[in-house]
Amino acid sequence: MPRTSRFLIRLLALGSVFACLAPALTVPAKKKKAVPARHGAKKIPLRRTALAVAVKASPGTPASAPAPKKAAAPTGHWRAPNYADSTAGDVALGEDPIARQAAVQALGKLNGAIVVSDAETGQILAMVNQKLVLKNGFQPCSTIKVPVALAALSESVVDRSTQIRLYGKTSIAMTEALAKSNNQYFASLGEKLGFDRVSYYARLFGLGEKAGSDIDGEQPGILPPSTPKSGMGMMTSFGDGITLTPLEFAGLLGAVANGGTLFYLQYPKTPEEAGSLLPRVKRHLEIADFISEIKPGMAGAVEYGTARRVGFDPEEPIYGKTGTCTDTRTPTHLGWFGSFTETAGQKVVVVVLLTGGSIVSGPAASGVAGQVYKNLAAANFFAQRQAREIGSEASIKPPTFEPVAPLANQQ
């Protein structure tokens, strides 16, 4: 047999031997231990597993089922939902139907409240979410800057042109401070005024007392008895220690709009009562000389500041102030916007308060107010009211005036 053939036969034989021995020579792969594999094996804490999250979120849920999702639940430390039926429970028989519809449509599904009032009579034209409006208020956030500005002007602490240094060579005056809601500026005013003067003017302007005349269920806001722990700066820039109601803010803004008359707000219960209400004056505020000092800042908020979502119209200016903060008592995030307009001879106040979570803010509230004004204009509301007033001018009686008790005795 040739040498080459013998070599091939031997090579094939060796291959067969190795093929037979291969299973025995192969090293078995190391198996992973199951968890738990046996007594004493290290266990993974249940709280770290997805199953644990599901069980914790919904006790009694089968292990294979995912945790149910909560609908529109707020996150973080805020407890109020962003969306709700804000008209539930309202009784609006005596409201102006156009103002009511304008406010309801503008608020939509948001969780909040709207007050629309006549600045020259104190009549409430619409009050959406009456439960929220009538309770004892929420932290005013930056809306407190309106009464603080009036207090500082009244006490000659500053005038509209006074520059207050913020840092380095950067200074700011009242118009820009109101328009852009500068906290440092108003904290400085608080330190200059001190607690007693801030508290006096806050009460004079209607804070801490009922704004309405015999409005069922109305509760007053709260003024603190002393400087809050956070200090005067936080009190006069964020409203720390104070609660403000939408009615109180509407009353004050009405006084700014009409030149200084603080009316009792009146809420008619029937259309007949709405047609026969006589204005009732709570007190006259000596602010006529200072209104022109704050209006440019309130107009600036809408034109280029924090309330740009209103929609600026130089032909029909809107004056307003935003506020954004967290009310720690509730707790809920807040979005305030108080405003007034002078359209077709009508001075109308619109106050919006939004409650909820991270989507809530003063700018968002200003957008809602802007839609209220647009809805009123689209329904020819201002022209209709002007026509009615001209037609009944001869029969209008002069307003009645109420004696004013000393501030210390106000409730």
pLDDT in tens, 101-112: 999 999 999 999
Q: What is the pLDDT of residue 391?
A: 64
Q: Whole-model pTM above 0.85? A: no
Beta strands in 12-100 (DSSP E): none
Whether residue 7 has pLDDT greater than 90: no
Contact 108, 118 (CB under 8 A): no
Where does the pLDDT of residue 79 fall: very low under 50, low under 70, confident under 90, or very high at 90 and above?
confident
Sign, CA torsion 163/164/165/170: negative
Q: What is the pLDDT of residue 39?
A: 36
Contact 179, 301 (CB under 8 A): yes
Whether residue 405 has pLDDT greater than 70: no
Long-range contact set of residues 290-296: C-beta below 8 Å, sequence gap at least 24: 290/150, 290/153, 290/154, 291/256, 291/259, 291/260, 293/149, 293/153, 293/159, 293/160, 293/174, 294/146, 294/149, 294/150, 294/153, 294/160, 294/174, 294/178, 294/256, 295/256, 295/319, 296/160, 296/175
Q: What is the pLDDT of residue 372?
A: 98
Q: What is the pLDDT of residue 77?
A: 64
* CATH code for the part of the protein at 97-403: 3.40.710.10
Least confident range from 58-62, 129-133, 279-283: namely 58-62
Whether residue 166 has pLDDT greater than 90: yes
Return d(Cα 23, Cα 27) in angstroms, integer. 9
Order of all β-strands in the sheet with 261-263: 261-263, 280-284, 400-401
Q: What is the CA radius of gyration of the chain?
A: 34
Which tokens hold the place of 362? 């003063």
Q: What is the pLDDT of residue 389?
A: 72
Whether residue 258 has pLDDT greater than 80: yes
Average pLDDT over residues 312-334: 94
Return d(Cα 205, Cα 125) in angstroms, integer. 21
Which tokens hold the place of 271? 């259309």
Return d(Cα 235, Cα 181) in angstroms, integer. 14
Where does the pLDDT of residue 257 fall: very low under 50, low under 70, confident under 90, or very high at 90 and above?
very high
Half-sphere exposure of 191 (CA within 13 A, CB side): 11
pLDDT averaged over every residue in the chain: 83
Which tokens hold the place of 138? 């929420």
Q: What is the pLDDT of residue 4?
A: 45
Average pLDDT over residues 307-334: 95
Chain Cα centroid distance, residue 52 = 37
Where does the pLDDT of residue 386 fall: very low under 50, low under 70, confident under 90, or very high at 90 and above?
confident
Give residue for tokens 């647009």: 374
Q: Give percent of the chain with pLDDT exceeding 70.
A: 76
**Terminal C-alpha separation, the chain:** 128
Q: What residues contact residue 356 under an 8 Å CB cut-off, 6+ apart?
A: 74, 78, 80, 81, 82, 83, 110, 111, 112, 332, 333
Contact 331, 97 (CB under 8 A): no
Q: What is the pLDDT of residue 60?
A: 34
Q: What is the pLDDT of residue 37?
A: 39
Whether residue 34 has pLDDT greater than 90: no
Q: What residues contact residue 47 under an 8 Å CB cut-off, 6+ apart?
A: 56
pLDDT in tens, 186-202: 999 999 999 999 999 99
Which tokens hold the place of 207? 């804070």
pLDDT in tens, 275-295: 999 999 999 999 999 999 999
For the residues of 167-210, what is the DSSP string, one character each?
A: ETTEEE-HHHHHHTT-HHHHHHHHHHH-HHHHHHHHHHTTTTS-
Average pLDDT over residues 347-364: 97
Which tokens hold the place of 226? 């002393």
Return d(Cα 214, Cα 255) in angstroms, integer. 20
Average pLDDT over residues 153-169: 97
